[in-house]
Structure 1
Amino acid sequence: MTTVSRLDAQRLRASVGELAELLIDTVDGGASIGFLAPLERETAVAWWEERVDAVSAGRLAVWVAHTADRILGTVSLVFPDKPNSRHRAELVKLMVHRDGRGQGLGRGLLTTAEHAAVTAGITLLHLDTETDSPAESLYRSAGWTRLGAIPDYAATPSGELRPTTIFYKRVGATVLGS
């Protein structure tokens, strides 16, 4: 059975090794999520360790989809710190291990992050993803709106420059005139 749980800073620190393995698998699988292949374990571990302070400070929320013995996926929300942008958040690093794909984990993680955003008072979410990637169809089917694409925005793990599509989604109650 797979469960989705939010990680506090202590649990994130304890999960860094597993999350590093998930990140490596995602990059090895060809996903353009900010890293080039081959991704070394030390780099992946360091990247996750750098997130612990942001979770502690409340600037980042991280969820994992896991079984009793393994993390199979993750998603995060980044909360801006500027007074005029506290109504929005960025959805980042939605990853599902290749062994866990096709089981609805990506959609479950996405839904969890959306519901948590509403609970936190967020009314607008945004994200970017590689154009024509499998993630694009997930976001479209989940009600996200495609804003447009930026050419040559990011490199794939193999180094090929690819366009990135920007999506947004209104969630919760939008406050007008505030």
Structure 2
Amino acid sequence: MPHAEVTAQSTVDEPLRAQLLACWTDVSNAGGAVGFVPPVTAEDVAPVLDAVVDRVRAGREVLALLRVDGELAGFAVLSLSMSPLRRHWATVLRVQVHPDRQGQGLGRALMTGVHDVARARGLEFLHLTVRGGTGIEAFYQGLGYREFGRMPGAIRVAPGDDRDELHLTCRL
């Protein structure tokens, strides 16, 4: 496996924004279940990314950047709870590895890094959702996540193609 590093990022400059936008667009067009149904353009993804960047700037979310040999290879978002009663929890969003880098164990490296970032922030539990019908829940189960519920038909990927949204959690 190439040298991979995951770091927490709390600011996003224009060059990083461009890299994140290209990655998210490419992952979406490769069929990744990261909030869009292909085909998408950078213009489709940009407003959603900009909302993430705004929440990162506000301290409500943290980017976990996956770099391989110094180059951005993927990322995930930790969405922090604003409730004083749930500050030990976060939701993991938009987990993605660039299609050119998939199949190299980097998804596991990214999520291991996400767990490290979360622990460093004092988090004890993580929550995430996956799109049913992809089989990706097995990947997360291998990382210690367990399904605790599902919303039948919550995700409409196309007319007549509704998927369950599976909810998973992990104690760090």
1:56 Cα deviation from its structure 2 partner: 1.8
Structure 2 unmatched ranges of 5 or more: none
TM-score by length of 2: 0.88
TM-score by length of 1: 0.85
- In structure 1, C-alpha distance between the alignment counterparts of 2:20 and 2:132, rounded to whole Å: 25
- In structure 1, C-alpha distance between the alignment counterparts of 2:156 and 2:17, rounded to whole Å: 25
User: Structure 1 residues 161 and 32, CA, compared in 2 at 3 Å: closer, same or farther?
Assistant: farther
Aligned to 2:54: 53
- Identity score, percent: 25
Greater mean alpha carbon deviation, residues 158-167 or residues 73-82: 158-167
Aligned to 1:150: 151
Structure 1 unmatched ranges of 5 or more: 172-178
Question: Any idea what the Cα deviations from partners look like across 1:51-92, whole Å, max 9, x if unmatched?
Answer: 222112221110222235742211110001111111100011
User: Is 1:126 aligned with 2:127?
Assistant: yes
**Secondary structure of the residue that 1:48 maps to in structure 2?**
helix
User: Is 1:3 aligned with 2:5?
Assistant: yes
Greater mean alpha carbon deviation, residues 67-76 or residues 13-22: 67-76
Q: How does 1:33-44 map to 2 (within 5 A)?
A: 33-44=34-45
Aligned to 2:141: 140
Q: How does 1:17-28 map to 2 (within 5 A)?
A: 17-28=18-29
Which AA in structure 1 matches 2:98? H
**Given that residues 16 and 45 in structure 1 are in contact (C-alpha distance below 8 angstroms), is that contact kept between their aligned partners in structure 2?**
no
Aligned to 1:175: none
Between Structure 1 and Structure 2, the one with more helix by share is 1
Question: Any idea what the Cα deviations from partners look like across 1:20-58, whole Å, max 9, x if unmatched?
Answer: 121112211222322232212122223222222211222
User: Is 1:169 aligned with 2:170?
Assistant: yes
Aligned to 1:81: 82
Which AA in structure 2 matches 1:3? E
Which AA in structure 2 matches 1:37? P
Between Structure 1 and Structure 2, the one with more strand by share is 2
